Each structure stands twice: as C-alpha cells, then as structure tokens.
Structure 1
C-alpha cells in the first residue's frame, strides 16, 4: 500500500506522459536538472501535505497535497522558448483540470499557482515553469485492534422488577472485498 499523495503523483504522471509536448520525458522519480537534449521534459513531485482533523471522534482528515509539476523547454530564441513554455503550461493545466478520472480521485483542487521564467544558460534559452496544484481529498485511518465479530446486547431497567431482562447476541458478518 502506498501513500495516497504518491498515488496522486503517479496518476498525474501517467496522465501527462505522451499527452504533452514532453512526450515520454515525464518523470516522477528523478532529480533535476536535465540536459538540454532531454527537453522538453516534465518532473512531478508531491513535497508538501497538510492534514486537518474533521473532529475529535474517528481519525478522519481533510488532506491537501501540493503537487508540483515542473516543466522545462528550450528553443532557439527567447520568443520561441516563451511560446513553447506557454503551450506546455496550458497542456499541463488542461490535462490535470479536465481529466474526469483524475478529478474523481479528489474532492477538489483548492488552488493553482504558476511561476514561469525564461533564462539564457550557456547561451541556450531555457524556459521553466512550476504549476503547483493543491489537491484536497478525505482520508480515514482505520482503528487498530481486534475487529468486532459480535455484540452481546443486554437490556434491563434497574429498580424495576416488572421489566424482564433481555439478552441477545448479534454477530457481525465479514464483508467480502
């Protein structure tokens, strides 16, 4: 079993792979930087996660995972690099936000933050963007211990001799998964 934030990161990587200008250069388990020859490329990470309790009862949480989608492009001029970066940024946002299967994994996307830059590194123009999605979902932790298999129910009224005592045993049926 893997953490749900890891499942979300991997689902986003599958979604973006081959459906963007980055083609197969979509990575979720690789460190940056990448060489200019490997561009365009997309790198996904889920570096932050916050859980807020829903109350004092069962261990239920509303979680928000930050999914960072970092993309890099390179083109011959600053203008061409910016255009390629804008196209890839749009592809990322539309795929994540419009895919029904991916959105079904969430309760909502609480916000999206986008930061772009075009720089000249080693005389090559490199465009970089980070699209950070805040993905909200619900998580419940199962209580530990021995599972309940049956209950003994006893009903009586203390101090009332006219009320008959009743005892019943209820067995909990195992669910088949």
Structure 2
C-alpha cells in the first residue's frame, strides 16, 4: 500500500545530500534534532485528496501535497544585496530539489505523476541578517484500491516503507550512448556454412539448412547518441 507518509519519507531521504542544505532535511519526526544551522529543508504533507474512480470497487486516485520549506540566512548588506543573494541561493535549492525528486526511481515506482509543482519565495530581514524562505508544494499522485482497505482480522498491518534502505539501493542512471542492431535473417541463408562468431548462436539453424538464421550478419546499424 502506498501512503502519503511513505511518499514524504522517501522524498525526505531523496533530498538528503542532494541540495545545498546537505543533510539538514527534516520532517515532523526529526524536526527537534535541528541544530540551528542554515540552509535547511523542512517537509510536511498538509493535504491529501482522494478522488473515487467509480461507484463499484473502492478505487481512488490519491493526490498528496508535499510542502517543502527551504530556508537560508545571509548577512544583511547595503542596497538590499543580502536579499538578492538569498534569492539566488533559494533558486539554486529549488532546481536541486526538482532534480532530486522528479524521475527518482523510488518515487516513480509508486507515483502516477507529479500533477503540479508550485513555488513561492518569501523574505524577512531581522536583526543583522536576511532570512528567506522558498515554499514548494509538490503534488504526488498515486493509486489506492480495495486491497488497501478493510484488512482481515488476521492480517498484519502494512509496514511503513524503509526509505533509507530504498533510496540507498538506487543504482545511478547511466546515459544511453549507443544502439547496435544486427540482422541475421530468416529468408536469407547459407545452406551449409558454419560461422563460429554468430551474434545469436542459440538461434542458428544447424546445417544443412533451408532458412536462417545461419550465424552470419546480413545487415546492421549502429546509432551513436550525442551527449
């Protein structure tokens, strides 16, 4: 069962170490551990909407709103330069957060889509420093069906996702550099030839043969992708 709490936990773990906030990523359970250092990210899920898919089986499209508050503090400077510096810092964190979440395998395996992402910048000069905040609202849409509700009495309750292990196990995405296609045709064949370096040895018809594959390449193409 996919839940809003699971998605929040996965998002928090996905953001750790992937923005300028470093490991300063907190949610409701971990907020008391903040040591007062900036920048930081605070995550919570203030809203969840469930839209029925019909009048028969209880199936829902669930949209959870993940709210990410990114906060930075910079010294006040003349000509409002501190506010400008804070704005640039938050814009960078905004881009980093998007890259950390969008298309993340641990999230995408549970989500149908990100239906919206809304951002708002706020600032407040206090004392000798400029405190600025970016509030991002990230829509996370997923499915819940009849199998997720009204469990039998002897069923164990669903366990929360192990976000730390799941995020840590993600393999890096390797760019696709090249595609090679080799053609060993069925309708073109050498009746008696034997080719030891066949591209598809398990598919080669033994000689004598009346049709291929015969173990030799009749054609092919290689496509290199520009990086």
Q: By the TM > 0.5 criterion, same fold?
A: yes
Unaligned runs of at least 5 residues, structure 1 = 148-177
1:66 shift after superposition:
0.3
Other structure's SS at 1:109 match: coil
| CA distances 1:22-79 after superposition (whole Å, capped 9, x unpaired) | 11110012559x77x4110000101100101111111111110000011101122222
What aligned pairs does 1:89-128 form with structure 2 within 5 A after superposition? 89-128=94-133
> For the structure 1 residues 145 and 14, does the alpha-carbon distance in structure 2 shift closer, same or farther, using more than 3 Å as the test?
closer
Runs of 4+ with deviation above 4 angstroms: 143-147
Structure 2 residue 81 is matched with structure 1 residue 82 = no
Q: How does 1:11-26 map to 2 (within 5 A)?
A: 11-26=10-25
Q: 1:81 to 1:104 in 2, by over 3 A?
A: same
- 3-state SS, counterpart of residue 98 of structure 1: coil
Report if the CA contact (8 A) 1:75-1:84 is conserved. Answer: no
Specify the SS of the correspondent of 1:38. Answer: coil
Q: CA RMSD in A?
A: 2.4
8 Å Cα contact 1:44/1:68 also seen in 2: yes
> 1:37-52 to 2 correspondence within 5 Å?
37-52=36-51
Does structure 1 residue 135 correspond to structure 2 residue 137? no
Structure exhibiting the larger radius of gyration computed from Cα positions: 2
Number of equivalences: 144
Change (3 A) 1:74 1:146: closer
Whether the 8 Å CA contact 2:10–2:106 is kept in 1: the answer is no
> How far apart are the structure 2 equivalents of 1:31 and 1:100?
26
CA contact 2:65–2:139 (8 Å) conserved in 1: yes
Higher strand share: 1
2: CA distance, partners of 1:91 / 1:11 = 16
